[in-house]
Amino acid sequence: MTSSTPQRQGYRPGSLEVLAVGLVLLIIGQSWLVDAFDNPALQTGATIFVSIVVQALPFLVFGVVLSGAIAAFVPASFWKKALPKNPILAVPVAGAAGAILPGCECASVPVANGLMARGVAPAAALAFLLSAPAINPIVLLSTFVAFPGEPMMVVARFIASLATAVVMGWLWLRFGKMKWLRIGPRGHLVGSNSWHTFRLTATHDFLHAGGFLVIGGLTAAVLNVVVPQAWLSAIADQPVLSVLALAGLAVVLSICSEADAFVAASLTEFSLTAKLAFLVVGPMVDIKLVSLQAGTFGTKFAARFPPATFTIAVLFSVLVGWWLLS
């Protein structure tokens, strides 16, 4: 005879406990930190990091609040009614809708999945997936603030990002195969009511995107302080290499699009076209997005769509940068 004894669940600390431990560690190590920050290089890096985070945080908060509101209060049926029946026309309309309805990268994949599950043409849903995090009003406003002396950067980002989203939608319409695409039954986080859904979505997106903002700010600070200036200058002086370098950096950093302009603006050695590639590629192709796409739409999709998007995004960045930023 075997007796079943209830198993104790392991303790999982919440965010408040982690914050409390972090504060205690800061208090304990404050004397060491004071001595460490006497180093001029660390002081410079800390200044760069803090300036990026402080400038970007309001846009990040505003963006995730709006994204959560859309996920909670805009019904998915709205899209099926609003988009044209003809998929060729639905693609640019869905892409342009990204300029009206903000959505962060964290939300774009489940939102696109939910749209397809409710009958929206995959090409149109994918165009919205790419455009919403890239050209929404919060992103464009943050770009304007980050590049105060270069208003054409906002225009260039809008044109290059929208063109990439629309062309990728049309390419999927022409060459995409449904056997490459796995459509799941669910969309975004859902609570017991709309307000609960809003709170869950906004909290999830803020915590997720905020972590990547910190990583991006730290990386930008390290690049500006640790990497020898001669190295950055050597890469920045090569037009093709500089564009590919910042496009690749955008993939690795996975910064939220509401904050990426401040990181790009801090990379002062690089040309505006290279920075444009960073801003266009990042919201559409980065590590976290590729993993989300693989988990939601399947590995066959993730092996084809993100590499094609990266190529088209870099191409339009170069063309639009040559046209508007040279």
If phi > 0 it is left, if psi is from -120 to 50 it is alpha, else beta; for residue 85 that is alpha
Give the tens place of pLDDT for each residue, 82-136.
888 899 999 999 999 888 766 666 667 777 777 786 678 999 989 998 998 899 8
Mean pLDDT of 283-295: 82
pLDDT of residue 275: 97
| Average pLDDT of the residues in 220-246 | 82
* C-alpha distances out from residue 99 to 140, 162, 165, 248, 289, Å: 9, 9, 12, 25, 20
Instruction: Give phi and psi for 3, each to the nearest 5.
Output: -105, 135
Q: Cβ of 183: how many Cβ atoms within 10 Å?
A: 17
Reply yes or no on whether the pLDDT at 8 is more than 50.
Answer: no
Beta carbons within 8 Å of 267's beta carbon, 6+ residues apart: 220, 223, 224, 246, 275, 278
Is 81's pLDDT higher than 90? no
Per residue in 10-36, pLDDT tens?
Answer: 545 555 455 566 656 655 665 665 566
DSSP symbol at 179:
G
Residue for token digits 């444009």? 276
Give 84: exposed, middle or buried? Use CB within 10 Å, 0-12, 13-18, 19+.
Answer: middle
Higher pLDDT, residue 220 or 297: 297
Domain locations along the chain:
43-324
In whole angstroms, give the CA distance from residue 87 to residue 304: 21
Kindly state the tokens that stand for 35: 């001595």
Please say if the pLDDT value at position 192 is more than 70: no
| pLDDT surpassing 70 at residue 321 | yes
pLDDT mean across residues, the chain: 80
- Report whether pLDDT(176) > 80: yes
Residue 225 in this model has a pLDDT that exceeds 50: yes
Q: What does each C-alpha distance from 308 to 42, 175, 281, 284 come to in angstroms?
A: 39, 12, 11, 11
